[in-house]
């Protein structure tokens, strides 16, 4: 047996019932599939945090996956923009947002008889700037995948026939807005519309970063840069229809809108 699979099964065997913060990405989908095999469908609950920060395409994917797994999915509706600490979009925005998100999911899980909530945090996440991870730890969220590298997660997901095993990494829409620029529904909707327009052209694993009210940076995977150059007129036309009259291109870089606070001393 794959050693990573054995490690994950051993971790899941510690629990009788488990609720999972479910986004429909590769990590949470693998966790759901493995928990289903280990614990049985009646003992697994999927919780989707739905808000203006979650692209509709991801919400729809999560619903389809849950249905395909035959697992119960509870949708918890949130309004993170009602929190000034989230709306102001400072360096700790993700911490405040995730604290509200995980607390709400945790409460719903307990109401439904699931005392433990897990997420899909993995070993590779430790090397990234993720203030939201601190919020999860403070609330006692479980991380069954914490010892698994992303490569092992994709390998296991493929082995278990998880449909999204090779899905590119995703992030909330707020990550497309520069740190320090306040969030509002109009800006988030424009970014989401722009990304839908690019996805309709067949691009994947990209980001539309909003630089200003009418300007954006399109970050693409290196292997799609040449194609984008050929189709640049069409790309600009589609993004222009979403309100971005000025568009620049760059290679995709995780967290490129983050401004990491300097440490004192």
pLDDT digits (tens, 9 = 90+) for 48-104: 999 999 999 999 999 999 999 999 999 999 999 999 999 999 999 999 999 999 999
Question: How many CB atoms are located within 10 Å of the residue 123 CB?
Answer: 16
Per-residue model confidence (pLDDT) at position 128: 63
Is residue 12 within 8 A of residue 144, CB to CB? The reply is yes
Per-residue model confidence (pLDDT) at position 264: 35
- pLDDT-based confidence at 261, cuts 50/70/90? very low
Contacts of 159 (CB under 8 A, 6+ apart): 2, 5
Q: Which of 224, 221, 219 is nearest to 256 (CA)?
A: 219
Domain 173-251 in CATH 3.30.70? The answer is yes
Contacts of 165 (CB under 8 A, 6+ apart): 26, 30, 154, 157, 158
Contacts of 98 (CB under 8 A, 6+ apart): 131, 132, 133, 135, 136
Reported as a single tens digit per residue, the pLDDT across 4-15 is 999 999 999 999
Reported as a single tens digit per residue, the pLDDT across 93-148 is 999 999 999 999 999 999 999 999 999 999 988 766 678 899 999 999 999 999 99
CA dihedral in degrees (171, 251, 211, 239; nearest 10)?
-90
- Please count the residues of the chain: 265
d(CA 164, CA 144): 19
pLDDT of 36 > 50? The answer is yes
Record the pTM.
0.91
Per-residue model confidence (pLDDT) at position 126: 75
Domain boundaries, the chain: 3-159, 173-251
CA-based angle 240:246:252, to the nearest 5? 95
Question: How many CB atoms are located within 10 Å of the residue 109 CB?
Answer: 23
CA-based angle 147:26:130, to the nearest 5? 60
Name the region of 24 (left: φ>0; alpha: ψ -120 to 50; beta: rest): left
CA dihedral in degrees (22, 23, 24, 26; nearest 10)?
-90
Q: Which of 73, 50, 78, 61 is nearest to 26 (CA)?
A: 61
CATH class of 3-159: alpha beta
pLDDT of 20 > 80? The answer is yes
Name the β-bridge partners of 251: 220
């Amino acid at each position: 047996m794959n050693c990573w699979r054995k490690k994950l099964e051993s971790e899941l065997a510690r629990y009788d019932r488990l609720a999972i913060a479910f986004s429909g990405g590769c990590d949470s989908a693998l966790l759901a599939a493995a928990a289903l095999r280990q614990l049985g469908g009646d003992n697994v609950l999927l919780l989707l945090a739905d808000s203006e920060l979650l692209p509709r395409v991801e919400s729809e994917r999560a619903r389809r996956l849950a249905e395909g797994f035959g697992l119960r999915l509870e949708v918890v509706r949130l309004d993170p923009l009602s929190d000034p600490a989230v709306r102001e979009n400072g360096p700790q925005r993700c911490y405040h947002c995730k604290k509200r998100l995980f607390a709400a999911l945790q409460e719903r899980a307990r109401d439904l008889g699931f005392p433990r909530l897990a997420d899909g945090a993995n070993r590779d996440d430790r090397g990234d700037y993720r203030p939201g991870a601190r919020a999860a730890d403070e609330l006692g969220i479980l991380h069954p995948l914490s010892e698994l590298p992303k490569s092992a997660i994709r390998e296991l997901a493929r082995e278990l026939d998880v449909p999204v095993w090779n899905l590119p990494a995703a992030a909330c829409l707020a990550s497309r807005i520069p740190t320090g620029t306040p969030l509002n529904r109009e800006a988030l909707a424009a970014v989401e519309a722009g990304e839908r327009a690019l996805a309709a052209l067949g691009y994947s694993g990209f980001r539309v970063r909003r630089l200003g009210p009418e300007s954006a940076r399109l970050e693409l995977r290196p292997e799609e840069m040449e194609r984008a150059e050929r189709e640049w007129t069409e790309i600009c036309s589609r993004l222009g229809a979403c309100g971005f009259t000025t568009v620049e291109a760059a290679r995709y870089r995780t967290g490129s809108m983050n401004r990491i606070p300097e440490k004192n001393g």
